[in-house]
Amino acid sequence: MATYNYVAKDALGKVITGTSEAENEQILVRRLREKGYWVQKVNAARAAAKPQAKQQKAGGSIMGSFGRVSGRDLAIFCRQFATMIDAGVSLVRCLAVLEEQTGSARLRQIIREIQAAVESGETLSRSLSRWPRVFSNLFVGLVRAGEVGGVLDETLNRLATFMEENERLRRKVKSAMTYPVLVLIFATGVVIGLVSFILPKFIQVFKDLGISDKLPLPTRILVQISNFLTTRYYILIGGIILFIVAITQYGRTRIGRRHTDWLKLKVPVFGKLNHKICIARFSRTLSTLLTSGVPILQALETVAGAVDNEIISDSILAARAAIREGEQIGDPLQRSGMFPPMVVQMVAIGEETGSLDSMLSKIADFYESEVDATLSSLTAALEPILIVVLGVIVGFIVISMFLPLVHAISSLQSGALERGGGGGGGE
């Protein structure tokens, strides 16, 4: 968890300053508001570290700039870690073996730093929390629960299963989008090539034939596009770069993230897919946390940071606040409008029967299968649509290029026939 400094006012208007750990700034603000505080300011804290901790953080920042640790590497790391812990191997010895076993250079360096921290007396969960870009809040929270309950091997096995399922879902989404993206890139390249290199040669032919001033409307439009791409391409490139930078920077703001996440849920076709992915992630994550013995309030706080959508995260935090007031979990989820009736009813039944974790696992299985089916149908629909769009664009370009030539040839033939007819009349 990250550490934040905050400034707030209580109900009497007294200024209160303090430091607290939270998954993110939004969760800390919500927590302080639940206590009746009016939050004035929240900043990330820079706590003084021990010399060894500073060395670990420096090592992390250096390694953080090179490469990345994939979900597959982390899943293998968890599975092997659980196997050795279950076999009775000491924690330090496990980390030493895992350092040699992993194929990721960055993960190897991180394990080395974690091993040094554990040898110095630090808990495993605390040492993992020093690498938030590699080990998520969910990862650290489950390890902490396993340490407290003395079931670290079972927790690591559940975590490995969770990460394998999450990675499988991520791979399916990527593979489903690969073909449409490649077709789109190819189509864009073909269009730019035709307009930038082929069309100028035709324009020169039109000038030589003396018909450049009598071009049809589609050809004139295409000529203007070609002139812009060949003479003012830097404006287009600069505009695209500025647009991407502006959208990226806006998306990093709090309001921008909310607008972006709202758009992800409302955009046609893809909105329903994103919603199903978020519901599946919510169910799988909460099921894994509850099965590992994490209390419901702490579990919901962790899940709110793991669903990767601010709108749904707010609904989860609102449900958490309602549960603290004594409500059941199903009622606030239903009021939010972000959870389908089936999910709400199954959660309510699971809470009544004391099998909420297994019920959430079934919900996750269902929505993951729904995501698979949606991806398959979406890919099947996108392929012909993209091919048709590509054919229409290329066809428009080809017709626009050859239309003036057809008119020129028709005019020449008409002139020849008129001259031939006039000569025959003179005889």
**Same CATH fold, 164-413 and 51-135?**
yes
- Side chain identity, residue 185: I
Mean pLDDT over 227-252 rounds to 85
CA distance 142 to 348: 24
Q: What is the mean pLDDT of residues 160-171?
A: 79
Of all residues in the chain, the percent with pLDDT exceeding 90 is 3
Domain boundaries, the chain: 2-44, 51-135, 164-413
399 band by pLDDT with thresholds 50, 70 and 90: confident
Range 175-189 average pLDDT = 79
pLDDT of residue 62: 44
CB-based contact 6:39 (threshold 8 Å)? yes
pLDDT at residue 23 in the model:
63
211-215, 346-350, 373-377, 381-385: which has the highest mean pLDDT? 346-350
Amino acid at 183: V
Q: Check pLDDT > 60 for residue 19.
A: yes
pLDDT at position 2 is 64
211 within 8 A of 223, measured Cβ to Cβ? no
Query: What is the per-residue pLDDT across 322-369, written as a single tens digit (0 to 9) for each?
Result: 888 888 888 888 888 889 999 999 998 998 888 888 899 899 889 888
Note the pLDDT of residue 231.
80
**Distance in angstroms between the alpha carbons of the first and the last residue of the chain:** 102
Say if residues 24 and 316 touch (Cβ distance below 8 Å): no
- What pLDDT, on the 0 to 100 scale, is given for residue 49? 38
Question: What pLDDT score does 56 carry?
Answer: 41
* Average confidence score pLDDT of the chain: 79
Task: Indicate whether 414 pLDDT > 80.
Answer: no
Contact 382, 180 (CB under 8 A): yes
Give the span between the Cα atoms of 257 and 270, in whole angstroms: 17
68-113 pLDDT tens trace: 777 788 888 888 888 888 888 888 888 888 888 888 888 888 998 9
Can you spell out the DSSP letters for 225-245? HHHHHHHSHHHHHHHHHHHHH
Mean pLDDT of 10-21: 73
User: Cα separation of 213 and 256, whole Å?
Assistant: 48
Q: What percent of the chain has pLDDT over 70?
A: 88
Digit-coded pLDDT (tens) for 264-284 = 888 887 888 889 888 988 888
In sequence order, what are the residues at sequence separation of 6 or more whose Cβ sits closer than 8 angstroms to the Cβ of residue 320?
Answer: 297, 300, 301, 304
Q: Are 24 and 2 in contact (CB under 8 A)?
A: yes
| CA 284/CA 293 separation, integer angstroms | 15
Give the mean model confidence (pLDDT) for residues 145-160.
Answer: 79
| Residue 260, pLDDT above cutoff 80 | yes
The CATH fold assigned to 164-413 is: Receptor-associated Protein (1.20.81)
Higher-confidence residue: 45 or 3?
Answer: 3
Domain 51-135 is of which CATH architecture? Up-down Bundle (1.20)
Report CA torsion sign: 80, 85, 87, 90: positive
51 confidence band (pLDDT: 50, 70, 90) = very low
Buried b (16+ CB within 10 A) or exposed e, 261-275: beebbeeeeeeebbb
Residues 6+ apart with CB under 8 A from 206: 212, 215, 404
| Numbers of helices and strands, H then E, in the chain | 18, 3
Lowest mean pLDDT of 36-50, 293-307, 356-370, name the range.
36-50
